[in-house]
Amino acid sequence: MNFIESRFVKEVSDITSNMYRQGWDERNGGNISYMIDEEYVRDYFPVEKYIRDIELGFVADEILRNKYFLVTGTGKYFKNVINDPEANLGLVKISEDGKVAHLLWGYRDGGRFTSEFPAHLMSHAVRLKINPKNRIIMHTHPTYTICMGACLPTDEVIFTRKLWKSNTEAVVVFPEGVGVLPCMVCGTTEIGEATAEKMKKHRIVSWTNHGIYGAGNDIDEAFGLIETVEKTAQIYMLTLGRVVNEIPDEVIIGLAKLWNLKMMPGVIEEK
């Protein structure tokens, strides 16, 4: 079977279309990386033949060496993936020395992986050490989350508290809270390192004035985290300055107890 017909390409094509329709991924905004096990890659590429090598520009963590990633291309539009996956996506293998990505499939017009690949790979490395089942890193530009970040200090306790106090689902879906980075230059190894540092404690990281990163075992999980943050940020922004019924601390604590969740410390004071 041809890789273009694989469930991996279908999953990424479907979710990029969906995210585009949410209004989060204007132009080339957003990127996704999907780690695929060698046994599945072998179904499509029994003999490893590389189309070309692409320099990473940094040295990938050892845990990522010889691992395969299906990754959106830089400058590519999410809305176009479904109609031409082979031009808009690429399947790469991280080299033995961690310096290069071997291209097995895709980037047909001579393209390369997203400019945010440092943040993706560094986040994959951190999440894999915590949870070997993590496969997805997803980055997007959800409107209300960006608005909310612009209205608040760049403080993850405050950001998380506002979310938890706005929607009862929030603490249940992300009890570890949202990591927050200040506005930084994107597409660099610096923002990659800063994002990965936050990923040690959080599966979601907000980039102030830019967007959000989510990690998950599968696309549903990463997307579900991001859409819950975004829905909650929408509630927060639409009620800003007019809230009469904020979720009481006792309800948030009750939800965490009911679901046996470990809450991010310092957000809600236990009485």
Q: Which of residues 45-84 bind ligand 13P (CB under 6 A)?
A: 72, 74-75
Pick the binder of ligand 13P from 13, 31, 145, 167 (CB under 6 A).
31
Residue closer to ligand 13P, measured from CB, 74 or 143: 74
- Binding-site string for ligand 13P from residue 200 to residue 219, where x marks contact by CB under 6 A and - marks none: --------------------
Residue 81 or 100: the one with the smaller Cβ distance to ligand 13P is 81
Residue 98 binding target from Zn ion, ligand 13P, none, CB below 5 to 8 Å by type: none
Residue 50 CB neighbours (<10 A)? 16
Find which of ligand 13P, Zn ion, none residue 80 binds, CB within 5 to 8 Å per kind.
Answer: none
d(CA 31, CA 94): 18
Which one, 152 or 186, has the nearer CB to ligand 13P? 186
Contact flag: residue 33 with ligand 13P (CB under 6 A): no
Contact region with ligand 13P (CB under 6 A), list: 22-30, 54-62, 84-92, 252-260:
22-30
Exposed, middle or buried: residue 47 (CB in 10 Å: 0-12, 13-18, 19+)? Answer: exposed
Which option in ligand 13P, Zn ion, none does residue 195 bind, with CB closer than 5 to 8 A by kind?
A: none
Interface map 186-225 toward Zn ion (x if CB under 5 A)? -------------------------x--------------
Closest CA to 164 of 253, 262, 261, 257: 253
82 vs 119 by CB, closer to Zn ion: 119
Residue in 39, 116, 193, 246 annotated catalytic = 116
Kindly list the residues in this chain that would bind Zn ion in the complex (CB under 5 A): 211
Instruction: State the residues that interact with ligand 13P by CB under 6 A.
Output: 28-31, 72, 74-75, 114-116, 139, 186
Known catalytic residues are 116
